[in-house]
Structure 1
Amino acid sequence: MTHPKILLIYTGGTIGMIKDAETGALRAFDFDNLLLRIPELKLLECDIETISFKEPIDSSNMNPKFWVEIAEVIENNYTKFDGFVILHGSDTMSYTASALSFMLENLAKPVILTGSQLPIGDLRTDAKENLITSIQVAALQHKNKPVIKEVGLYFEYKLYRGNRTTKINAEHFEAFASLNYPELAESGVHLKVNKEYLLKKPKVNKDFIVHKDLESNIALIKLFPGISQTILQSMFNAPGLKGVIIETYGAGNCTTETWFLELLIKAARQKIPMINITQCSGGSVSMGQYETSQKLKKIGIISGKDLTTEAALSKLMYLLPKGLSPKKLKNAFEKNLRGEMTS
Structure 2
Amino acid sequence: MTARAAKKTSILIIYTGGTIGMVQDAKNGALKPVKFDKIQEVVPELKKFDFIIKTITFNPALDSSNMNPISWIKIAKTIERHYNAYDGFVVLHGTDTMAYTASALSYMFENLDKPIIFTGSQLPIGVIRTDGKENLITAVEIAAEKVQGECLVPEVCIYFDFKLYRGNRTLKRDAELFSAFRSVNYPALAVAGIDIKYSIEFIHYPENKGILKVNTDFDDNVVILKIFPGINQNVFNSVLNTPGLKGVVLETFGSGNVPTSRWLINAIKRAIKRGIVVLNVTQCQGGKVVMGQYQTSVELLNAGVVSAKDMTTEAAVTKLMFLLGQGLKPEEIKMYLNKSLRGEISE
TM-score (norm 1): 0.98
CA apart distance, 1:253: 0.5
Amino acid at match of 1:86: V
Measure, in 1, the Cα distance between the counterparts of 2:85 and 2:201: 28
Question: Alignment identity in percent?
Answer: 50
Amino acid at match of 1:151: V
Contact 1:8 1:86 in 2 (8 A): yes
The C-alpha deviation readout for 1:38-61, integer Å capped at 9, x for no partner, is 111011142111011011101111
Match of 1:168 among 158, 169, 173: 173
Contact 2:190 2:198 in 1 (8 A): yes
Farther off after superposition, 136-145 or 15-24? 15-24
Match of 2:334 among 294, 319, 330: 330
Counterpart residue number, 1:267: 271
Contact 2:113 2:210 in 1 (8 A): no
CA apart distance, 1:285: 0.2
Partner of 2:118, secondary structure, is strand
CA apart distance, 1:3: 2.1
Counting matched residue pairs gives 342
Counterpart residue number, 2:133: 128
Amino acid at match of 2:240: F
Partner of 2:178, secondary structure, is coil
Contact 2:99 2:167 in 1 (8 A): yes
The C-alpha deviation readout for 1:281-329, integer Å capped at 9, x for no partner, is 1110001111111111110001100000000010001001222222221
Counterpart residue number, 1:18: 23
Q: How does 1:157-196 map to 2 (within 5 A)?
A: 157-196=162-201
Contact 2:113 2:205 in 1 (8 A): no
Measure, in 2, the Cα distance between the counterparts of 1:219 and 1:33: 41
The C-alpha deviation readout for 1:197-228, integer Å capped at 9, x for no partner, is 101221x4362111111011111111000001
Q: How does 1:1-343 map to 2 (within 5 A)?
A: 1-202=6-207, 204-205=208-209, 207-343=211-347
Contact 1:264 1:299 in 2 (8 A): yes
TM-score (norm 2): 0.97
Measure, in 2, the Cα distance between the counterparts of 1:23 and 1:210: 45
Contact 2:315 2:344 in 1 (8 A): yes
Measure, in 2, the Cα distance between the counterparts of 1:46 and 1:317: 37
The C-alpha deviation readout for 1:163-218, integer Å capped at 9, x for no partner, is 0000010101000000000000010000111101101221x436211111101111
Contact 2:219 2:321 in 1 (8 A): yes
- Displacement over 6 Å in runs of 4+: none
Structure 2: state its 5+ residue gaps.
1-5
Measure, in 2, the Cα distance between the counterparts of 1:21 and 1:206: 47
CA apart distance, 1:280: 0.4
Contact 1:88 1:115 in 2 (8 A): yes
Amino acid at match of 1:324: L
Measure, in 2, the Cα distance between the counterparts of 1:277 and 1:328: 19
CA RMSD between the two structures: 0.9
